[in-house]
Amino acid sequence: MTNHSETTGPSENGDISRDGGSPGRSAHDTQVTLRTPAELADALPYLLGYRPEDSMVLVALHDRAGRGRFGGRARLGIPANKDDWESAARQLAQGLVTGGERRGARAEQMVAYVCQEPASGESGRDVMRRLTPLAQLLRTECGRLDVPVIEALCVSDGRFWSYCCPTEECCPPDGAPMGLPGTSVLAAAATYAGIQVRGSLRELRARLLPWETGAILEQETALDSAGMALVPRILDGAFRADVAEGTLALAELVIARYAAAAPVSGTHRADLRDDTLLSHDEAATLILGLQDRTTRDRAAAWMEGDEAGPALRLWRALARRCVGPYGEHAAAPLTLAGWVAWSTGDDLEAREALAMALGADPDYLFARLLHQACNEGLDPESIRRCLRTERTGRTELMSHTGRASQDGTAALGDVGPPHLDATPCLDAAPCPDDASATASGTRRRRRPRTVDTADDRRPRPEDSRPRRVRAEHTRPGMSGPGATRRRAAEKAERSETGGGRAAQEGRRSGNGRNQRDE
């Protein structure tokens, strides 16, 4: 589920009347009054920042002086199986209502939307009829939470229908046409306020989805080769640091290459240009190298300033290269893309990238932490401070050990790899599993999935493709010097307090701040 906080869209400080709505820019500016289903249908892209497709959306309303204002928004894809509609509607309603309660702003009313384009042989009216049970489930689930739905709309094939309005003059059976994009009063107000609709959800996600071109086979072959070469080295403590350093050096090289490239207009053309600047072998090496959690944590430090833009382009490009059976590997670059987007103020791309990372790997803890923090509208500065501190510490340690080596007193290898010994992992801290854990201040630690790392589980030359591994996890009961080193590293990781804890501390302080602001 993708949540959208109160700060998304043009209605942050606006009003909405109980008979249909009216988001405005502020109490002292000219208000834009929305009173009809047509105006509410037109408002949806501006509330989310994009045009939703194949989606069900809930928008919360909060009372203020007898009127209302738009609050949080939440979107969820429409399940293909109708048997899943009830659970999806319950998840959407509970997620938005409980999220508002945690921020001290419980929703008092809802506006519901179901959006889907007709299938082959269907009309928009057919879609409206087919989705009627889903709209009713949304109304029922919100009613169970004592939050009535005052309007439910279906948007399909350039038309809209109201499930609540019985007046044919207002809402005819064949639907009413949507206005031309950008021609409404709300569109003018949003443009004046600097709010932009960034195309459709499909266009936004296309920048992060795996390739569907003829180059898939070449990229898949490169990933196979890189996996055979790198996975055994990542699993071996003696070579893991070398792989990390090589991965980060290559990433830094590509980021510099992107920064020097001439700009082009249009997101599609820009993505094609970035794809041509990254070879198959380079992409494969980076994708496999980032599966090591500590390497990924160090890469997350490219989050601001002149580095952030090219780094975000690289993470997008790597996500597009996770083709075929390597789809789960996209969790790392997608999470990095979401983190950099959030850190630079693009909450919309951040939420979608993090949601896609969880789609690739639902147990990816770093993505879960960031997705929850982003959805709750927290400030990412606490995580940035942690990453800045660790980056500065590594730089000072490298400088110190380098000088010592020149003096003949010590070598870098004598003090151990800094990113294993000194850098806390961003997802080392537990994440609250439900609203009750957050409210009570308790934390549940999810047991990480273990991956066998004994020799009999390592990729063999005859294997067609390497299994995806999490190099930071080891199997209990292993023996030998390598196992001793890994157990020591694992023990050190459990005691670390990294960006994951910083995210949770920020969440706690952010919740308090929100309550004070309310």
Output the average pLDDT for the chain.
74
pLDDT > 90: what percent of the chain?
A: 43
> What is the token pair recorded at 126?
């057919």
| pLDDT (0 to 100) of residue 415 | 29
DSSP classification of residue 279: -
| pLDDT (0 to 100) of residue 511 | 45
pLDDT > 70: what percent of the chain?
A: 65
Mark 457-496 as b/e (b = at least 16 C-beta within 10 Å). Answer: ebbeeeeeebebbbbbbbeeeeeeeebebbeebeeebeeb
In angstroms, rounded to a whole number, what is the distance separating the alpha carbons of residues 477 and 182? 63
| pLDDT (0 to 100) of residue 397 | 59
Spatial contact of 152 and 162, defined as CB atoms under 8 Å apart: yes
User: pTM above the 0.75 mark?
Assistant: no
**Averaged over 91-106, what is the pLDDT?**
87
| pLDDT (0 to 100) of residue 85 | 96
In angstroms, rounded to a whole number, what is the distance separating the alpha carbons of residues 195 and 432? 33
Q: Which residue has the higher pLDDT, 265 or 199?
A: 265
Of 121-125, 149-153, 412-416, which gets the smallest average pLDDT? 412-416
Spatial contact of 75 and 57, defined as CB atoms under 8 Å apart: yes
426 — pLDDT class (breaks 50, 70, 90): low
31 — pLDDT class (breaks 50, 70, 90): low
H helices of 161-215, in order, are 185-192, 201-206
| pLDDT (0 to 100) of residue 509 | 44
Spatial contact of 300 and 332, defined as CB atoms under 8 Å apart: no
Kind plus residue range of the DSSP H or E element containing 219: helix 216-235
Closest-CA residue to 111 (of 155, 161, 57, 63): 57
Most confident of 70-79, 358-367, 447-456, 485-494: 358-367
292 — pLDDT class (breaks 50, 70, 90): very high
pLDDT digits (tens, 9 = 90+) for 503-516: 444 444 444 434 33
| pLDDT (0 to 100) of residue 66 | 54
